[in-house]
Structure 1
Amino acid sequence: MLLTLVFLAGLKYLHSAGILHRDIKPGNLLVNSNCVLKICDFGLARVEELDESQHMTQEVVTQYYRAPEILMGSRHYQNAIDIWSVGCIFAELLGRRILFQAQSPIQQLDLITDLLGTPPLTAMRSACEGARAHILRGPHKPPSLSVLYMLSGEATHEAVHLLCRMLLFDPMKRISAKDALAHPYLEEGRLRYHTCMCHCCYSVSSGRVYTADFEPTASDRFDDSYEKSLTSVWQVKELVHRFITDQQQGKRPPLCINPHSAAFKTFIRSTAWHSSKVSKKEER
């Protein structure tokens, strides 16, 4: 319960800043014994695209945690894909096994419909024709959500209700991180966390002083203008190399690339070549 609570709080903050993580999975969650959780690996993250006419890549999210709209070839998606991944992880915490563990994306989609049932056409409005045909070609499947109660003894009615709100086929109806944090299942966990484990509340002689906002949001949307200015791999490598050398010359602990790694020689050679080209251009 506590892990789900702090995880959703972090995701609420990301989504309020307009950031889609796009690779939520257990391996990208760092947690210590004090239940301090950090979401890592933003290699696939991007700023939320508000223009629905803009196409977005489908090569995101590890397959076991991939939302059905991506599996069905949707060209545009929102932060609901992260919520689906949270639901898969939540079920994994309850059952101690991967909920949808398939060998291929098609089989992954079949496992999802085995649990949730055949989706209505309105839930497949953004799917590609091939994926929609695959669903409609098969036999109609009724939902079998009652099996979620068999995940473990901790799969209470409230836990399963929250899980079902996260694992909705239609992304437009999927619960948000903000609303999930207000779910009754997390009430006890929120009280326990802020009573003894958080850093935003503090104790005085008269008792505990709680923060006014348990799960704060970002004040502004994330500004990705810097990333948009990077137009080539060589430019990125040059900036990384410059950052490393600047760190080595300062008073801070040196930040170095492992000289024994397989990519070290290639990185140094490519950045040196790029630097020489830049120098020659400047001389001209």
Structure 2
Amino acid sequence: MAVVGTRSSRQCMMAFHAVNGPHNAILAAAQPTFSSVVPTDAQPDRPIGYGAFGVVWAVTDPRDGKRVALKKMPNVFQTLVSAKRVFRELKMLCFFKHDNVLSALDILQPPHVDFFQEIYVVTELMQSDLHKIIVSPQHLSADHVKVFLYQILRGLKYLHSAKILHRDIKPGNLLVNSNCVLKICDFGLARVEEPNRRRHMTQEVVTQYYRAPEILMGATHYDAAVDMWSVGCIFAELLGRRILFQASTPIQQLELITDLLGSPSAEDMSTVCQGARQHMMRRPYKPAALHVLYSLSSQTSPDAVHLLAQMLAFSPAKRLRVTDALSHPYLDEGRLRYHACMCRCCWSAGGQPRQYTQDYEPSAHQAFDDTWERELTSVVQVKDRMRKFIVNHMSPEKVPLCINPQSAAYRSFASSTVAHPSELPPSPHQWEA
């Protein structure tokens, strides 16, 4: 594999051996005169996540000795669709500026275009994710739930204000630190909202347990309401410490949803495919059983059930929007605790609390621009544009990073692949009229 850096492979290798000699660090500094910082309690590089479109390792940044996350996106340019998807995710990671949304800290400089096949992105390293916390024996108080839910919605408001749909909100994509700070991650399925309702959108999105009913029922167009459904499912999972709708097929998934919410009306199914609508209309009527939500946990309050029921409205048109959810009384205490204890914008440079004068839940300054996607019509064009974007994005004052193929962990890192197909979001059921 070609060494990734602004200098040649030979120069980077000579620099590494001159300064460090072979060791366990996957990352090395690309400048020969730069001395790597190796902390005395250095931890070995190790894998921490395998997703649908890449793998993530916890590694050490040789420039300052800090632990960071290194995401490898392999086989980027196999097809035009995959190349555009990776470029979109890369642009989003560089666009984001929000405490509750993961963003790119650095991108490893690409090699010559002939050897350019993989992307390496450096992000902040978080300690865990919400899935691991939910399934652990760790106690989750009502305050924990409120603080986590507030941060999810706060980050989601930022994304939706930038006209971005995440399309895969789930506990495993919500990173958490020991101080309870939460960040939304993994934008491999994210895209800009489609204003034209006649344009079809892919249905192969969102892990099934968190998939909105309109997608389960074959809707060809959807909006930000699909993310809010996912957040509602996660809210219930935080309260009950179990997945709310856990079925083996999309049809069974829909059955579990109607068992709780009751049979949808014809108006509620106005956006779904005809076959799905006819299937539901033929089934016996089911009344709503929202009282079941009270049994999720001893911490489930009337306010919690009221908010949850509005998030889990069957019809996307009736589902609560993120700005309205943030103003719900249930989140008042979570907002207060977050801004008093964890939010960086609420503290002065001297470490003293200050009067918070900005909007509690800031929006993006502008919508994310995806017009470039329509301009690129070949893999070669995408590769050339992506390489220029990476080179131009990074600061000239920063010492560039390169891969160290002499690392003891490099062989394992280089052979890392994406998740097994069984771990990917399942394809939607094809309804028949």
TM-score range, shorter chain: 0.7 to 0.9
Distance 1:259-1:173 versus aligned 2 partners, 3 A rule: same
Is 1:44 the counterpart of 2:189? The answer is: yes
Q: CA deviation at 1:170?
A: 0.6
Counterpart residue identity of residue 204, structure 2: E
1:209 maps to which residue? 355
Deviations 1:41-77 (A, max 9, x none): 1111110011111111111100000000001111110
Q: CA deviation at 1:256?
A: 7.3
Q: CA deviation at 1:129?
A: 1.4
Distance 2:226 2:362 in 1: 21
Partner of residue 87 from structure 1, selected from 232, 235, 257: 232
Q: CA deviation at 1:175?
A: 0.6
2:402 maps to which residue? 254
Distance 1:256 1:50 in 2: 45
1:156 maps to which residue? 301
Distance 2:177 2:323 in 1: 24
| Contact 1:3-1:37 at 8 Å conserved across structures | yes
Partner of residue 314 from structure 2, selected from 153, 161, 169: 169
| Contact 2:346-2:353 at 8 Å conserved across structures | no
| Contact 1:244-1:256 at 8 Å conserved across structures | no
Deviations 1:226-246 (A, max 9, x none): 344443445545666788899
TM-score (ref. length: structure 1): 0.85
Distance 1:256-1:154 versus aligned 2 partners, 3 A rule: farther
- Count of paired positions: 263
2:98 maps to which residue? none
Is 1:118 the counterpart of 2:266? The answer is: no
Distance 1:50-1:82 versus aligned 2 partners, 3 A rule: same
Q: Give identity over the alignment, percent.
A: 62
Counterpart residue identity of residue 371, structure 2: S
Q: Secondary structure at the match of 2:401?
A: coil
CA RMSD of aligned residues (A): 2.6
Distance 1:157 1:110 in 2: 25
Distance 1:205 1:229 in 2: 47
List runs of 5+ in structure 2 lacking aligned partners: 1-145, 418-433
Q: CA deviation at 1:100?
A: 0.3
What stretches of structure 1 move > 4 A for 4+ residues in a row? 203-207, 233-247, 255-260
Higher relative contact order (CA 8 A, sep 6+): 2
Q: Secondary structure at the match of 2:317?
A: coil
* Higher mean C-alpha deviation, range 255-264 or range 76-85: 255-264
Higher helix share: 1
Higher strand share: 2
List runs of 5+ in structure 1 lacking aligned partners: 265-284
